[in-house]
Amino acid sequence: MNSDRHRRIPSSFSVPPGECIFCKIVAGAAQSYRVYEDRQYIAFLDKAPFARGHTLVCPKKHGETIWDMNEMEIAGLFRVASRVSKAAVGAVGADGFRFVQNNGEAANQVVAHVHVHVIPVMMEDKGKYSGRKSFSEEEMEATSRMIRDEMGRLA
C-alpha cells in the first residue's frame, strides 16, 4: 500500500493558507468571537452553530487534516478542546457536549483547516442532531464573553 496516498485527502475546499478563513481569523484579518488563544491554538464560536456555545478549536498553524499534525500537536489540540468544553458547557448551562472532528470533504469538513467542534448539548436534545442556528451579534458576543469568563475561572 502506498502511504503517500493517505497523506492527502482530496477536498474542493482546499485553499492556500493566505486564503484560509481560519488563518485569517488567527491573523486578526477576519472577524470572530474568540474564547481562547495561546501560542499554538485558538478557539472561537462557530458562525453557523448547531447550538449556543458551539465553539471551534484549531491550531494556528495551517494544516488541512489531522494527518498534517504530529501526535504532540494533536494532544495539544484535544487538551484545549477539553478545557473549552468545560467552559462552554458551564457558560450555557448544557447537560453534555459533543466533539466532532471531520477530515476531508467526504467527512463533511467544510473549512480545510484542522479544527474540533465543541458542541454543547441539552438533555432535551439527546439523540437529536439539529440544523444550524443563527444568533445575533449581541448573542454571539455575550456567549463568547461567558465562555471566556468560564475559561478564566477554570484556569
Q: Which of 54, 62, 115, 117 is catalytic?
A: 115
C-alpha gyration radius of the chain: 15
**54 in catalytic set:** no
Where helices occur in 8-126 by DSSP H, the ranges are 21-27, 71-92
Where helices occur in the chain by DSSP H, the ranges are 21-27, 71-92, 137-154
| Residue 94 near residue 49, CB atoms below 8 Å | no
| Residue 143 near residue 91, CB atoms below 8 Å | yes
How far the first Cα of the chain sits from its last, in Å, is: 46
| CB atoms closer than 10 angstroms to residue 118 | 29
Count of alpha carbons within 13 Å of 98, Cβ hemisphere only? Answer: 19
Which residues are catalytic, by number? 115
